[in-house]
Structure 1
Amino acid sequence: MPRKEMSLKWLIIGAMFSSVGMSFVWPLTSVYLHDRLGVSLTWIGIVLLFNSLASVLGSYLGGYLYDRKNPYHLLIGGVSGTTLTLIALTLFHGWPTFGIILFFNGIASGWNVAVVNSIGTSIKSEDSRYIFNMLYFAQNLGIVIGTSLVGFIYSISVTLMFVVATTLFLIFLIIVLLEFKPAANKSDKKVSDTEKTTWSSKSLPKANAIMLFTFFLSLFIIWIMYQQWVSNLSVYMTGIGIPLRNYSFLWTINGGVIVVSQIIINWISRYHENMILEVFFGIFLMASSFVVLIFAKTYPFFVLAMVTLTIGEATALPTIPALVNTLTPVEAKGRYQGLIQSWASAGRALGPLFGGLVIEMSSYTALFIIATSAVMLVLIGVIVLWNILHGKLVMYR
């Protein structure tokens, strides 16, 4: 007898293979293009911007189509698309072919994350917060595994790096083909195709629509500021005499703290359930990490800032999709999960450019002060609007 519901175990395993595979592509894109192919930093910035914009497009399309089409077929299409782009990168990784293929890879990877998260909303046997915590845990564990191996494999051969990534996505594709068929049964929800197609965002209660937009805008701003850690902080730290390997080790700490934090958060969530408090606490810690950066001049301060950022990230970022899930009806869960990824990807796309402009016009200290202020304003906005609207919000299963 076929399973009625998608297995969370296979969803998590699939998400992890996808995350490890993509971790063989994005961390070394800039280094490879600049050092091996001699591409200018301006062109690299353009390539990364278009890759992020492609991810925004893929996330939106994947989420939008989830509500209208068979999720099983959508994920087969997305994973197949990613696999094909990785095969293309294995064969053709010169310039400008690399940049063009990376654009299509961005569409496919955004699509996959949106569809996987949307499938998570269809699992009713587990609490939605637990599902999104575990997906976040798997995706970050994948990044830890991938980024710890990619430097070693890159030093052997660039081609080998893409061969390994392709192999991981072929395994993911086999897992999808064999274990994701129950995802097609999401129409257990008893929603007809006509209802899915005719459902309009006007049908959403006004309070829900305002709160959802607040969460999307919050993610956009948070990710713009978070990207300073990824893009500009390495230059700042090396500029004050801290070795690059010490900066790289911060991301090992980030991965480790996320894994430990998720275990603790999942344990606490069995006994206490208040998702919005987790969001408040997480955003507050993320803002606090930038306060530490304002005064950081020695490595222990950067470690403290990273640990603070990571605990905040691990608390708030997986909880927001779970809250969005409870604020959206079954006809539109995919659309709104896709929008989460789209707004986050847009923030990631603009982050390095925003930081670069602030540094050029002023200083790193000014950037950290702006980041602190922006994330604190996000926190105040979310608290105020939640307190005004929470009595009018309609909660869905």
Structure 2
Amino acid sequence: MTHKLFPHTTHFFDTMGHGAQNQIKEVHQMTNKEMSFRWLVTGALFSSIGMSFVWPLTSVYLHNRLGVSLTMIGVVLLFNSLASVLGSYLGGYLYDRKNPYHLLVGGVVASTITLIILVFFHGWPMFGIVLFFNGISAGWNLAVVNSIGTSIKSKDSRYVFNMLYFVQNLGIVVGTSLVGFIYSISVTLMFVVASVLFLIFLAIVITKYKPAANESRKKVSDTEKTSWNTKHLPKANATILTTFFLSLFIIWIMYQQWVSNLSVYMTGLGIPLRNYSFLWTINAGLIVVSQIIINWIARYHENLIMQIFFGFSMFAVSFITLIFAKTYPMFVLAMVILTIGEATALPTIPALVNVLTPIEAKGRYQGLIQSYASAGRAIGPLFGGMIIELSSFTALFVIATIAVLLVLTTTAVMWKALHGSLTRYRT
């Protein structure tokens, strides 16, 4: 083919020395060098461990050490989540238009600065103010890292997002297992360790993430990226993506009941708080094991949408179990079911969104995934608290079950109606 279309090309290379040919080959390889998947997940791991030194003890620290009211703590956490929504959207949006390497360096620098500030100034209200800006940078970094994951072509996209989800949860396991011990020694030391972890993350990004700029910048011109808008996305794709985003929003509202309100319910039944905390150890450990199993199954069978349907079904079953749970083993069973649903559905959605979006907009839609999830996390505790005050915990679990079943039904109906019209893009 080359000989017919470009007859002089062969002669040109024939007349070149082998050294010059090798130089051109090396330049071509450098230009098209892909971001190392190993370093992508390593960076995500350090980021996850670092953030696990901040968010788990925020409520305890503000209330027990600084004497901040629970209402004000709720406001702080709400604004932290809203900041994460903003950061996720901006990070994903700018990924499609700017150099991903520079975006991530800037985001990690911002996170590191907020953590270093907390080393010296962690009183009230400074802690709450810094936590807001930390939320922006955290959402930004997560969206950019996930967007960079879309540029990995040497691995299946489902494997990429499963592994990113895996290391992020592994980081939570490591971080939360250490943070309580370090917190009991010194609050300052807790922020020092978090700062050091992010300095390591920054060093990894600076030295290993430069190829991330190549993949998204070479294939599409800056003019195309800037002029691209949502009108260019096929209607079927836009509709199903909106369905996924709204589904994530509702799923996370309900999931947050486990994080925020279930501890009150369990302790009210006479179950020790340490037993509630152990549920999250089970959750994190099962996610790690589940991702290994899911990645093994993915070698032989791949059906992203069925994986999402199965995960949503498990979410519903977990809330059904909570309706009848009165003893600790029942709560353990509900957590196991919830974790299976989480590990199956949540990392699969970014992989399927990646398939349904063009390269000009991958960052935008990966950012929207994080934004809708963060919005659900922000509203979840308030929603649950209102239902409990107006009715009961049982009513909350019934509403959560119905909401998740509606999400499952709506997603299934929309997929059946639209999947034949969907445009799938090269990943």
Whether 2:141 is the aligned partner of 1:131: answer no
What's the counterpart of residue 179 of structure 1?
208
Aligned match of 1:353: 382
What per-residue deviation string (whole Å, max 9, x for no partner) do you get for residues 327-371 of structure 1? 000000000000000000000000000000000000000000000
Determine the structure 2 residue equivalent to 1:362.
391
Please state whether the residue corresponding to 1:395 is helix, strand or coil.
coil
* SS of match in other structure, 2:211: helix
Q: Which residue is equivalent to 1:329?
A: 358
The answer on whether the counterparts of 2:387 and 2:396 sit within 8 Å (CA) in structure 1 is: yes
Give 2:263's aligned residue: 234
Partner of 1:341 in structure 2? 370
Counterpart amino acid of residue 308 in structure 2? V
The answer to whether 1:152 aligns with 2:181 is yes
Aligned to 1:7: 36
Q: How does 1:185-196 map to 2 (within 5 A)?
A: 185-187=214-216, 190-196=219-225
User: Could you tell me how far 1:190 is from its partner in structure 2?
Assistant: 1.7
Work out which of the residue numbers 115, 124, 127 in structure 2 matches 1:95. 124
Please give the per-residue CA displacement for 1:188-230, whole angstroms capped at 9, x wherever unaligned: 6520000000001000000000000000000000000000000
Partners of 1:258 and 1:68 in 2: CA distance: 34
Equivalent position to 2:51, from 6, 9, 22: 22
How far, CA to CA, are the matches of 2:199 and 2:171 in structure 1? 16
The whole-number CA distance in structure 1 between the counterparts of 2:178 and 2:403 is: 35
Counterpart of 1:384? 413
RMSD of the alignment, in Å? Answer: 0.7
Which 4+ stretches in 1 moved above 3 angstroms?
none
Query: Where does residue 285 of structure 2 map in the other structure?
Result: 256
- Cα distance between partner residues in 2 of 1:188 and 1:43: 44
Contact 1:223-1:344 at 8 Å conserved across structures:
yes
Name the CA distance, whole Å, in 1 between partners of 2:214 and 2:120: 38
Indicate the SS of the match to 2:341: helix
Unmatched segments (≥5 aa) in structure 2: 1-25
Q: Which runs of 5+ in 1 are unaligned?
A: none
- The whole-number CA distance in structure 1 between the counterparts of 2:341 and 2:33 is 36
Q: Secondary structure at the match of 1:391?
A: helix
Maintained 8 Å contact 1:189/1:330: no
Offset of residue 299 of structure 1: 0.3
Match of 2:136 among 107, 117, 133: 107
Distance 1:64 1:247 in 2: 38
Amino acid paired to 1:44: I
Distance 2:388 2:359 in 1: 44
Deviation at 1:187, TM superposition (A): 3.3
2:82 to 53, 70, 73: 53
Select 1:168's aligned residue among 197, 209, 212: 197
SS at match of 2:154: coil
Bigger Rg, structure 1 or 2: 2
Conservation of the 8 A alpha-carbon contact between 1:294 and 1:365: yes
After superposing the two structures, state which structure 1 stretch, 105-114 or 178-187, moved more. 178-187
Structure 2 counterpart of 1:395: 424
Q: How many residues align?
A: 397
Q: Cα offset for 1:186? A: 1.6
Is 1:43 aligned to 2:93, yes or no?
Answer: no
